[in-house]
Amino acid sequence: MRTDVGELEDRRVPCRMRGCRRTWTWRVGEQIRAHKAGQTEAPSRMCDACHAIYQSLEDREEPCSTKGCEGKWIWKRGAQLEASLKGTFEKPPKRVCPACEEKLRTTADVEKPCRIRGCKSTWTLTAVMQLKGVKEGMCPGCRGRFDKAVDLTQPCRVSGCTGTWVWNRWSQVEQAAKQGVEPGQEAKPPERLCDGCNERTKTFADQTLPCRVRGCERTWTWTKQMQVRAWAEAGGGANAEPLVAPDRMCDECNRTFGGLDDREVPCKIKGCRRTWKYSRQAQLERVTSGDAERAPARMCGECQDLLSKLEPIEQPCMNEGCGRPWLATPEQQLAAIREAQERGREPQLPQRQCGWCEEFLRTHEPIDLPCAVCGTAVHWPSHAQLRVELGTWRKPTHCSSCLAASVGT
């Protein structure tokens, strides 16, 4: 295309520097020369002001942005001019030195395990990160959760305590990983003590206490945690009363106790059909003291009541010719009453000899007497001696053969 030179005039052309709004003037003479050379477009050129600044600048060495690297990179004049137009001349850009650049080009990205405990995912440690000395990081899932999370106030895990604790973002991410929570779902908060309870636990120490079961020599441990709970349940507070240890069974008694049931055991009184309650507690004490599992002999409640109303009563000696009394105990009477009820008849006390007769028998050994005729020993047992004493029998004088002979004549 031909341009008529007569149409030309000075033109204002925008400065080529990015960020500069000024112009420079493309003179007619220059335009004609350009057109003759076949160039109709205005050349790319700086405005006078930019040019003046450019002339005053020099390429500058700037420190490498890699931490610990002593290397330098060159900040070119043109880039400095551009920065001054943007108003960032005072803050040179962060850039790495050529050596670091080379390192970046030749360093490969590495897959690293997520730093969140319990998370099995990985994240990419890029060359840039490696250059910056980054070693640990979160997988994208954990990172996303972490960035969205806010610290949460949680209630103290001690029931009865109104204190709270702060569940921080880090721990929230950890819990989510531990619980295998899907993205978008919330993790369940862990059970934790508030600061107050935490402080308080430091003043408690585990205590070893005796088992409350009679006869058991084992112990149980009143842990710090149990004490904190007891303290909080009692209202907590720094000036709370000193705690009183509860009466507890040792683990083994507890286990045994768990396997026991209250049992109904027959009354020990013969003829009584009622039972008494053998409690788990009583059974446990018996087992613990090394006794067999057999229930002890005991009366039912009714028999005990009746027994308390009975007095010892005198009964005649069963031995003929004695007439001395013996004392029937309330138990003997009770047994007689129950047996009579069982058989539907009148109560009958047993036949017994008196204390005097018993004493006689104990103090009189069987002896041998000589036969009045032949001198043979005649056996005289204790009970026969008692009969003689009571006047119902006679003392033997002859042996059986001499006695037979005397009867025969």
- Provide the binding-site residues for Zn ion, judged by CB under 5 A: 15, 17, 20, 22, 47, 50, 64, 66, 69, 71, 96-97, 100, 114, 116, 119, 121, 139, 142, 156, 158, 161, 163, 194, 197, 211, 213, 216, 218, 250, 253, 267, 269, 272, 274, 300, 303, 317, 319, 322, 324, 353-354, 357, 371, 373-374, 376, 399, 402
Q: Which is nearer to Zn ion, 187 or 211 (CB)?
A: 211
DSSP string, 121-133: -EEEE-HHHHHTT
Pick between residue 30 and residue 389 the one whose CB is nearest to Zn ion: 389
Closest distance to Zn ion from the beta carbon of 6 (Å): 31
In the bound state with Zn ion, the residue whose beta carbon lies nearer, of 35 and 45, is 45
Smallest distance from Zn ion to CB 111, Å: 13
User: 70 with 76: CB under 8 angstroms?
Assistant: no
Q: Which is nearer to Zn ion, 29 or 237 (CB)?
A: 237
Using alpha carbons, select from 272, 275, 265 the residue that is nearest to residue 337.
272
**Separation of alpha carbons 335 and 272, rounded Å:** 8
Q: Which is nearer to Zn ion, 27 or 32 (CB)?
A: 27
Least distance in angstroms from the C-beta of 293 to Zn ion: 16
Q: Most distant CA pair in the chain: distance in Å?
A: 201
CB of 359 to Zn ion, least distance (A): 9
Compute the least distance from the CB of residue 31 to Zn ion, in Å: 20
Q: Tell me how far apart the alpha carbons of residues 206 and 227 are, in angstroms, rounded to a whole number.
A: 8
Q: Which helix (H) or strand (E) holds 74?
A: strand 72-75
Alpha helices (runs of H) in 68-168, residue ranges in sequence order: 77-86, 98-106, 127-131, 140-148
CA-to-CA separations, 185 to 67, 117, 121, 132, 173, in angstroms, rounded: 39, 18, 17, 34, 11
Residue 4 Cβ vs Zn ion, minimum distance, rounded to whole Å: 31
Rounded distance between C-alpha atoms, residue 244 and residue 6, angstroms: 114
* Closer by beta carbon to Zn ion, 32 or else 110: 110
Radius of gyration of the chain (CA): 57
**Whether the Cβ atoms of residue 283 and residue 293 lie closer than 8 Å to each other:** yes
* 15 vs 149, beta carbon nearer Zn ion: 15
Q: How far is the CB of 3 from Zn ion (least distance, A)?
A: 27
Integer angstrom CA distances of residue 169 from 116, 121, 385: 12, 18, 104
* Min dist. Cβ of residue 159 to Zn ion (A): 10
Q: How far is CA 121 from the centre of its chain?
A: 30
Strands (E), 202-323: 207-210, 219-222, 263-266, 275-278, 313-316
Give whichever of 31 and 306 is closer to Zn ion, judged by the CB atom: 306
Name, in order, each residue with C-beta under 8 angstroms of 91's C-beta and a sequence gap of 6 or more: 83
3-state secondary structure of 71: coil
CB of 60 to Zn ion, least distance (A): 16
What distance in Å separates the CA atoms of residue 389 and residue 363, rounded to the nearest whole number? 13
267 or 337: whose CB is closer to Zn ion? Answer: 267
Nearer to Zn ion, 59 or 199 (CB): 199
* Residue 194 CB, nearest approach to Zn ion (Å): 4
- Burial 151-177, CB ≥16 within 10 A → b, else e: eeeeebbbeebebebebeeebbbbbbb
